[in-house]
Amino acid sequence: MSEGSFIIRGKAPLRISFAGGGTDVPPYSDERGGMVLSSTIDMHAYCTISPRNDKAMRIRSLDFAKEESWSANGQMLSYDGNLDLIKAVLNHFEVDQGFDMFLQCDAPPGSGLGGSSTVIVSLIGAVSEWLNEPLSQYDIAKLAYILERQELGLAGGKQDHYSAVFGGFNFMEFRGSDTIVTPLRIKNDVLNELHYHLLLCYTGRTRDSANIIEDQKKGVSSGSREVIEALDAAKDLAAETKDALMRGDIRRIGELLDESWQQKKRFTSAISNPYLDKIYATAKEHGAMGGKISGAGGGGYMFFMCEYDRKHLVARKLADMGVQMQNFSFDKHGLQTWRYRT
């Protein structure tokens, strides 16, 4: 297979976090340990690499409407806030070959579905596949976290990288520098019932998660009793929600989602706002048992556990407010990479 006669793709799923989100963010996760229950869905981030015969690196990012050209001249690419996720991956692998790259994600930036972390996972997957440098699932997730959070200093937690790599329903435990991912084997009838009750919707407003997370981190670092108590409660709720899911207790999951949302709002005042509060109150009034924002908060996607025969009413009332309903299914697959002859 000659250079330029094939393309390489990486595909990684986005996620919704049922409980424990925020407890995966240092310093809390380092000091007290975190727990998160999440599931990947059939919305994805994609990375396509087309090798070239010269040293030109040409990048097209559909989501940021950007096109950039760099050169594989053996020097490290400098970080300047412009497509730095890509630069971090290329620098790590010391890429010295030319290529065309196309990036696309099924959700907009700031959606709360783990987009940026899923993008860097798809990048690492595609580049490692191209360069024939195989990595384990844990190695890919850890590298994605290190590059995004430590190398680039982008505030956030650890769950998104591991969700995107492993896929499916996972119960994740964060103990200092260690992460343990436990895939959950859930009966199909429980998954079908859960999906039938769930409503995923886009609030129409994105947000800058970094500022919200920085506020939460300051609360932990300063020893805020309210923030730490809320995070402790969120962690306990993650374990309880996992147990309810394994029992197939749909109504209890709805109640626990409501409790998780109430605790999450205590992390920082930026997590909710009058618009989100109105969405939540409207959903509860018309048939939602519980729900929460997906991700750090402030906007993006929300999801609700509804009475099955009132979910359509919740959807109608939220649509009247300008909220967009999102069809979705659970996705059992994590990161996938492949080559295709052109």
Q: Which of 100, 160, 236, 277 is catalytic?
A: 160
DSSP state of 323: P
pLDDT (tens digit, 9 = 90+) per residue, 140-176? 999 999 999 999 999 889 999 999 999 999 999 999 8
Confidence band of 177 (pLDDT split at 50, 70, 90): confident
pLDDT (tens digit, 9 = 90+) per residue, 43-61? 999 999 999 999 999 999 9
Query: Rounded to whole angstroms, how far apart are CA atoms 102 and 50?
Result: 9
What pLDDT does residue 207 have? 64
Minimal CA–CA distance to 334: which of 147, 174, 169, 102? 169
Query: Rounded to whole angstroms, how far apart are CA atoms 210 and 216?
Result: 10
Which structure tokens are listed for 275?
Answer: 């618009």
Q: Which domains does the chain show, CATH number per domain?
A: 6-185+331-341 (3.30.230.10), 188-325 (3.30.70.890)
Say whether pLDDT at 181 is over 90: yes
Calculate the alpha carbon distances from 122 to 32, 73, 140, 219, 237 in Å: 30, 24, 10, 32, 30
pLDDT (tens digit, 9 = 90+) per residue, 71-112? 988 888 999 989 999 999 999 999 999 999 999 999 988 888
What pLDDT does residue 1 have? 38
What pLDDT does residue 2 have? 43
- Give me the amino acid identity at 41: I
Query: Rounded to whole angstroms, how far apart are CA atoms 243 and 313?
Result: 29
Number of other CB atoms surrounding residue 82 within 10 Å:
12
Identify whether 27 is preceded by a cis peptide bond (ω within 30 of 0).
yes
258 is catalytic: no
